Amino acid sequence: MTTPVAFTAHLQSFLESLKVLGYSPQTIKGYGSAVELFFAYLGSVGIANLLQIGSSTLRQYQHWLQERAYAGWTIATRLQGLRRFFCHLERNQALLVNPCIGTKPAKTPYRLPRTVLTTAEARQVLDTPSTETAVGLRDKAILEVFYSSGIRLEEMARLTVEDVDCKNGYLRVVEGKFAKDRVVPLGQSASDHVRQYVEQVRTKWMQTQTGKALWLGSHSPHLPLKSQAIAVMVRRYGRLSGLTKRVTPHVWRHTCATHLVAGGANIAYVQRLLGHVSLRTTQIYVRTTIPELVATHAQTHPRNQEPTS
């Protein structure tokens, strides 16, 4: 059964609204997939009109997902996408009654970051680019900024020379997630490497083009680096470093936050640094450090060194 044209039009309107609100491409794609899967379910049970959808439809859909052995996290995120979709329809008066009203949101289980680099592993990757070459200087600066600031890939790709203040050690993220601006600290090492890249590399590459983009491609006419190119570069240095872990821009984000929390940073500070709207999102990094804290406690606390009776 094909998806009704009206459903498709509502989905496109929903996705466009998410773009306007500043949601990341990954989030928009995820919400779109959630709605498309729901449309597939509606087709399987013969529902072809929005007016036929009620709270019982959502309960039956959740049961349908459970029968197909979807993980709890996946079900929760699918239903979250649907809730936002129906709120959008209600705001635009495409529905008289929101079918989500009266239904309890599915609890999203805590999911710890799959990959976090240790301090030694982070240093190993950071030391991989050759600073004897122009490309190496640029790539080294990008990796240092990822580790120091924890910014997102899209935020990194949008940086301009005006967004970075190496002298005072901070950078400005313009229109981050949810279209919010924020200023984040840039450590001394990252500041030094960005300054070196700008003075020794970017200045020369800018002779063939105009613009304010901070990160430029290595081949003439040295156009601004796209987020996909940055992601490929990060993964490549992860492999070249010899690590078996898959190193991505988001792994650097997790690593930055985890190391800050492990070092004693206030969780509210980390929340502001990462640009999280909810403190609950940031708290996963506290949970990530718990095993390390337990191991350290076992090794160092005086009571753990005393013989048991």
Q: Which two tokens stand for residue 248?
A: 């991505």
Tens-place pLDDT, residues 174-228: 764 544 677 888 888 999 999 999 999 999 998 867 789 999 999 988 999 999 9
Class of domain 119-297: mainly alpha
Q: What is d(CA 171, CA 165) in angstroms, rounded to the nearest whole number?
A: 6
Q: How far, rounded to the nearest angstrom, does the alpha carbon of residue 13 sit from its chain's CA centroid?
A: 24
Contact 38, 61 (CB under 8 A): yes
Per-block mean pLDDT, blocks of 10 residues, the chain (309 long):
68 89 81 90 86 85 83 79 89 81 59 74 95 96 92 90 90 66 84 95 85 92 92 96 92 84 69 61 50 47 47
Measured distance CA(105)–CA(94) in Å, rounded: 22
- Say how many C-beta atoms besides its own lie within 10 A of residue 42's C-beta: 21
Structure token pair of residue 240:
């070249």
- Cβ atoms of residues 30 and 14 within 8 Å: no
What pLDDT, on the 0 to 100 scale, is given for residue 172?
Answer: 87
The catalytic site residues sit at 152, 177, 250, 253, 276, 285
What confidence score (pLDDT) does residue 152 get? Answer: 86
Cβ atoms of 115 and 121 within 8 Å: the answer is no
The predicted model scores a pTM of 0.60
Which candidate, 259, 268, 25, places its Cα nearest to that of 150? Answer: 259
- Per-domain residue ranges for the chain? 5-91, 119-297
Q: Give the per-residue pLDDT at 280.
A: 57
Strands (DSSP E) found in 125-240: 164-165, 170-173, 182-185
Q: What is the pLDDT of residues 74-103, one digit of tens each?
A: 788 888 888 889 889 888 888 777 888 766
- Is residue 221 reached through a cis peptide bond, with omega within 30 degrees of 0 on the bond before it? yes
Cα gap 297→165, rounded to integer Å: 40
Homologous superfamily of 5-91 in CATH? Tyrosine recombinase, N-terminal domain (1.10.150.130)
Q: Which amino acid is located at 288 in the chain?
A: T
